[in-house]
């Protein structure tokens, strides 16, 4: 695919964001918190306009998208209120900027510090989930970063209303409204990827193939938030009641999100007892099941699963089931087909849980609880930019700490390296202060 030429208008927008971000980077915690409070207030005052815009988005999308995705697009009064409460929570969190991570005396009068600082300008491409824009902006401002948002096409009206309110709120504060921008088309996304002079980090929230496409088409560092092929493994030593409740919550509580499970792995020795119970509970929650050959022997009325199912993120009320021989078999399946997002084991055997923690290579490895806990708010980060599925940090829910980098500062008094080399080399002190 050819990347389109950068249009001057987007360069201008990005230049303004860069300028606003430079000022924001050195603002005091108090000034940033005032800006966050003003955003919350402005979103509250614009509630009617935002909700009406969302009704229009939902009406336009109604025919075209699956029910769970429609639910993700919908922004009712409660979701908006929670998102605004999340903004205020971010205001209360400690400032991630200016933290001294290393403070060391290298030699007398030669002092090293490592201090956290903002990344600069973030480019965040996300799906049709309007409240994500609110969470992302609050984290960006608190971490001292400018942000260029690109929302999913079905959520354009909602996100425009949200960003309008945010800019209005910021206009009363020390943070320039230029620090927050919204793009709405794929063409702009492709242009954004070329703006390596203005954008410091791209975060694509989308399918694996889209994240790979972004990585292959930009010189800007990319923090991939890819798909969630999450698993629950029900071990032979599982408490069956817990296993049923966890499976239902992890699949049906919010099927469209990336931390919902797609595949249930069941130890062969517990399958005959567990599967009929979980199938009943899932049917009550309108979940359709697909099973491998051994599962079909216990649940003969469900559809057959094939290889493709193990690789599929349904984002819907569908769950594939496979019976495995043992823990090793379950872990091999997860490491082969999973997306390194979040996986859970249900067992009362601590040693087995420890082995699962050690051997499953995902950003989230859970024991006896729902995968739906994989979330910045639930981890106490206030909100999240999304869930990083990369191997390198930040992994899992990305909050304030994932949006800063650091600088090394050294203060000396005419010190030179030559003094520390050669026959009469001085020794370093290397004493932490
Ligand atoms: N780990 C995480 O935090 C998250 C992961 N995801 C994962 O993302 C996947 C897809 O989610 P879904 O809702 O379908 O989102 P989409 O893939 O439909 O869209 C996500 C964003 O990517 C853009 N996009 C997608 N393809 C292209 C392309 N070829 N060129 C330019 N822009 C593109 C979309 O733009 P447009 O709408 O304009 O086409 C949208 O802004 C799922 O696997 C889900 O799990 C989603 C959110 C968070
Ligand atoms: N942490 C979020 C889910 C992560 C996320 O952003 O998912 P998605 O709905 O795919 O955008 C939650 O628990 O609602």
The ligand 1 atom nearest the CA atom of 150: 41
What was the pLDDT predicted at 66? 84
With a CB cutoff of 8 Å and minimum separation 6, the contacts of 153 are 128, 184, 185, 186
Which pLDDT band, with edges at 50, 70 and 90, does 7 fall under?
Answer: low
φ, ψ for residue 338 (rounded to 5)? Answer: -70, 170
ipTM above 0.85, yes or no: yes
CA distance 369 to 254: 15
Whether 5 shows a pLDDT value over 80: the answer reads no
Ligand nearest to the CA of 375: 2
pLDDT band at 1 (very low <50, low <70, confident <90, very high): very low
Helix 29-45 vs helix 130-142: angle between axes, to the nearest 10 degrees?
160
pLDDT tens by residue, 131-149: 999 999 999 999 999 999 9
Mutate to test the pocket of ligand 1, among 60, 152, 343 (most ligand atoms within 8 A of CB): 152
Query: How far does the centroid of ligand 2 lie from the alpha carbon of residue 287, in Å?
Result: 19
The predicted structure's pLDDT at residue 414:
97
Select from 71, 156, 205, 208 the residue to mutate for testing ligand 1; criterion: most ligand atoms less than 8 Å from CB. Answer: 205
**Ordered DSSP codes for 86-146:** HHHHHHHSPP-TT-EEEEEEEETTEEEEEEEEE-SEEEEE--S-HHHHHHHHHHHHHTT-E
The string of pLDDT tens digits covering residues 172-187 is 999 999 999 999 999 9
Ligand 1 probe mutation, 73, 151, 206, 207, most atoms within 8 A of CB: 206
Across the range 183-205, mean pLDDT stands at 96
Question: Which pair of structure tokens corresponds to residue 44?
Answer: 């509250």
List the single range of 33-42, 204-213, 316-325 with lowest mean pLDDT. 204-213
pLDDT digits (tens, 9 = 90+) for 329-351: 999 999 999 999 999 999 999 99
Q: For residue 8, is pLDDT > 80?
A: no
Looking at residue 2, its pLDDT comes to 39
Atom nearest to 258 CA in ligand 2 = 10
Given this model, what pLDDT does residue 323 score?
A: 98
Q: Is the pLDDT reported for residue 262 higher than 60?
A: yes
The residue-averaged pLDDT of 29-44 equals 98
Residue 351, helix vs strand vs coil = helix
Cβ 313 under 6 angstroms from ligand 2: no
- Just give the CATH number of 230-373: 3.40.309.10
pLDDT in tens, 51-105: 999 999 999 998 888 888 898 999 999 999 999 999 999 999 999 999 999 999 9
Question: Which atom number of ligand 1 is nearest to the Cα of residue 207?
Answer: 9
Identify the CATH assignment for 8-225+385-407 out of 3.40.50.920, 1.10.3210.10, 3.40.47.10, 3.40.605.10. Answer: 3.40.605.10
Domain coordinates in residue numbering, the chain? 8-225+385-407, 230-373
End-to-end CA distance of the chain: 53
Ligand 2 site, residue 398, Cβ cutoff 6 A: no
Long-range contacts of 274-279 (CB under 8 A, 24+ apart): 274/234, 274/238, 274/240, 274/243, 274/244, 275/299, 275/321, 277/240, 277/244, 278/243, 278/244, 278/247, 278/248
**Residue 407: is its pLDDT beyond 90?**
yes
Tokens of 172: 């009363």
For tokens 């050294």, name the residue.
Answer: 410
- Beta strands (DSSP E) in 223-381 are 230-234, 261-267, 288-291, 303-304, 318-324, 342-346, 364-367
Global pTM value: 0.92
Q: How confident is the model at residue 6 (pLDDT cuts 50, 70, 90)?
A: low
Percent of the chain with pLDDT over 70: 98
* H or E segment and range at residue 411: strand 404-411
Distance (angstroms) between ligand 2 centre and the Cα of 81 equals 17
Distance 118 CA to ligand 2 centre (A): 24
pLDDT, position 69: 87
């Amino acid at each position: 695919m050819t990347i389109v030429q950068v249009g001057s208008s987007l360069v201008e927008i990005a230049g303004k964001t860069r300028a606003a971000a430079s000022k924001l980077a050195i603002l005091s915690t108090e000034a940033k918190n005032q800006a966050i409070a003003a955003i919350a207030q402005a979103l509250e005052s614009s509630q009617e306009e935002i909700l009406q815009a969302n009704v229009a988005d939902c009406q336009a999308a109604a025919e075209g998208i699956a029910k769970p995705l429609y639910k993700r697009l919908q922004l009712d009064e409660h979701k908006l209120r929670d998102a605004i409460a999340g903004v205020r929570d971010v205001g209360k969190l400690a400032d991630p900027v200016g933290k001294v991570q290393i403070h060391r005396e290298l030699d007398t009068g030669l002092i090293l510090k490592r201090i956290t600082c903002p990344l600069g300008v973030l480019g965040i491409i996300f799906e049709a989930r309007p409240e994500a824009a609110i969470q992302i902006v609050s984290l960006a401002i608190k971490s001292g970063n400018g942000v260029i948002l690109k929302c999913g096409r079905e959520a354009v009206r909602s996100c425009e209303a949200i960003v309008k309110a945010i800019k209005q709120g910021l206009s009363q504060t020390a943070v320039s409204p230029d620090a927050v921008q919204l793009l709405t088309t794929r063409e702009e996304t492709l242009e954004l990827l070329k703006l390596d002079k203005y954008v410091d980090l791209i975060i694509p929230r989308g399918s694996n193939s889209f994240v790979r496409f972004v990585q292959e088409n930009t010189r800007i560092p990319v923090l991939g938030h890819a798909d969630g092929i999450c698993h629950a493994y029900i071990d032979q030593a599982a408490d069956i009641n817990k296993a049923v409740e966890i499976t239902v919550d992890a699949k049906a509580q919010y099927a469209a999100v990336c931390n919902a499970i797609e595949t249930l792995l069941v130890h062969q020795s517990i399958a005959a007892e567990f599967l009929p119970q979980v199938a009943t509970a899932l049917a009550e929650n309108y979940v359709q099941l697909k099973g491998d050959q051994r599962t079909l022997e216990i649940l003969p009325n469900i559809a057959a699963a094939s290889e493709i199912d193990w690789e599929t993120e349904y984002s819907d009320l569908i769950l594939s089931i496979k019976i495995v021989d043992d823990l090793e078999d379950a872990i091999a399946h997860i490491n082969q087909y999973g997306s390194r997002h979040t996986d859970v084991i249900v067992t009362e055997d601590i040693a087995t849980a420890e082995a699962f923690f050690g051997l499953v290579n995902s950003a989230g490895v859970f024991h006896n609880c729902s995968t739906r806990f994989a979330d910045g708010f639930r981890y106490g980060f206030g909100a999240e930019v999304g869930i990083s599925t990369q191997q390198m940090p930040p992994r899992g829910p990305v909050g304030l700490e994932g949006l800063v980098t650091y600088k090394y500062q050294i203060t000396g008094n005419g010190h030179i390296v030559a003094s520390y080399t050669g026959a009469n080399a001085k020794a370093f002190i290397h004493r932490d202060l």
